[in-house]
Amino acid sequence: MKYQQANVIVGYVTIHIKGKHPEHFLKQCATNNITVMNVRKIAQDICMGTIYLHDLKNVKRLIQDTTYELIKIDSPKGLFPTAKKLWSNKVMIVTICLCIIFLFGLANIAWKMEISGVSEETELNIREKLEKEGLYEGAWTFNTLDIDLIQQHVLHEMPELMYIGIRKKGTTYHIDAIEKQQEKRIEDLPNRHLVASKNGEIESIFVKKGVGKVAVNDIVEKGDLLVSGEIEKEAEEEEDKDKNEDDKEQLQKVAAEGEVYANTWYEMDVTSPLTQSESQFSGAAYERHFIDIMDFVLPVWGFKQPYANYVKEEKSHALKIFNYTFPIKLKTKIYYEMTNNIQPGTKEEAKERAINHIESNLKRKAGKNSEVLYYKVLHERLDNGKVKMNLYVSVLEDIAQPKEIH
């Protein structure tokens, strides 16, 4: 039986038919492919039945050729007729829309900010910094605040902070921050020697604690003792001790500290291309806007792929009312145009770039106090548009490396 239950959605209407054997007319309707439902006899010559709203025209047309009368048509019911009725009531629709907009507005304002984990002074500072970034009590937060970016900016501007985390819960922003603690005291360090981390010629020694075991211009090899963590005990203490004690027992162990700068040598191979490729932003940008409904992305504005070379940035804002997040997001994709410049260069320029690169690389490896004393090009050749060099580099660097005393 093809009993259809779609009448609630499509819309239906109840009609009253008057005449001799009104059920015959309803059967005629059914023969003409009009679905008739809930047929009841309410009088000897009156029948009522329900039909789909869209069939009403056909019923009226059919009844014209008969002796039956359509005496009453009830008001239409169902989803579409109700929506149609509601649509005619414009004031109510405007009121509902205004209510939603008002609620949306209220839900996208930062009503409260709670900062925890820091002292009052730091809390005030954080509040100031956040206000500069646009996050304060009463601020409009939809589409304007990027929490990750704010966190980065505040951390950058307040070096005394180790961590800051901003969480949005409803209309309240919870800010958890941790201040940096004092650096670990040197006393906590274990007893240790300082040994050479690589071969070199000593240039200068600065011992804070311990006994220096090398002198300037000494040649040391990797693993050689530079500053000893075993020092002799003070005279008063020594007197109390038994004179027959071993030498080892008269030594006090400390954590040796100091800097030992030595001239070290490196032999390196480096390759540098003659041409140089540079990517630059041209300054042009193109925005595309989308609506994301449950992962179905619908383009709204900006339909072309503007540039051949570009860097893409994506921003996404979910619609939220208090704690409820709608499955609708407003997405923006910004395309920044990039230009690639390939500049031909000379052999000298390529060499200079390679040497600069080596210098910065060595400085990064050997520490910020290190210095490239001189370099010598042992061998160089031009191969496939690239300059290949074999370099000998002399570096002044701190070679002291702690080694625990067991």
Q: H helices within 45-89, ranges in order?
A: 56-64, 79-88
- Find the shortest distance in angstroms from Cβ 304 to other proteins: 33
* Beta carbons of 391 and 268 less than 8 angstroms apart: yes
CB atoms within 10 A of CB 177: 23
- Find the shortest distance in angstroms from Cβ 82 to other proteins: 23
Tell me whether residue 26 or residue 195 sits nearer to other proteins (CB atom): 26
- Specify which residues 226 forms β-bridges with: none
- Find the shortest distance in angstroms from Cβ 45 to other proteins: 11
Tokens 């003659």, residue located: 274
Binding region for other proteins (CB under 8 A): 1-4, 21, 23-24, 26-27, 29-31, 33, 35-41, 47, 49
CB atoms within 10 A of CB 382: 11
Tell me whether residue 39 or residue 330 sits nearer to other proteins (CB atom): 39
Tell me whether residue 74 or residue 352 sits nearer to other proteins (CB atom): 74
- Find the shortest distance in angstroms from Cβ 52 to other proteins: 12
* Beta carbons of 333 and 286 less than 8 angstroms apart: no
- C-alpha 283/C-alpha 228 separation (Å) is 59
Tell me whether residue 23 or residue 146 sits nearer to other proteins (CB atom): 23
Q: How far is CA 185 from the centre of its chain?
A: 36
- Find the shortest distance in angstroms from Cβ 72 to other proteins: 18
- Find the shortest distance in angstroms from Cβ 17 to other proteins: 12
* Beta carbons of 257 and 208 less than 8 angstroms apart: yes
Tell me whether residue 38 or residue 271 sits nearer to other proteins (CB atom): 38
Give residue 213's identity as a one-letter amino acid code: K
Tell me whether residue 37 or residue 155 sits nearer to other proteins (CB atom): 37
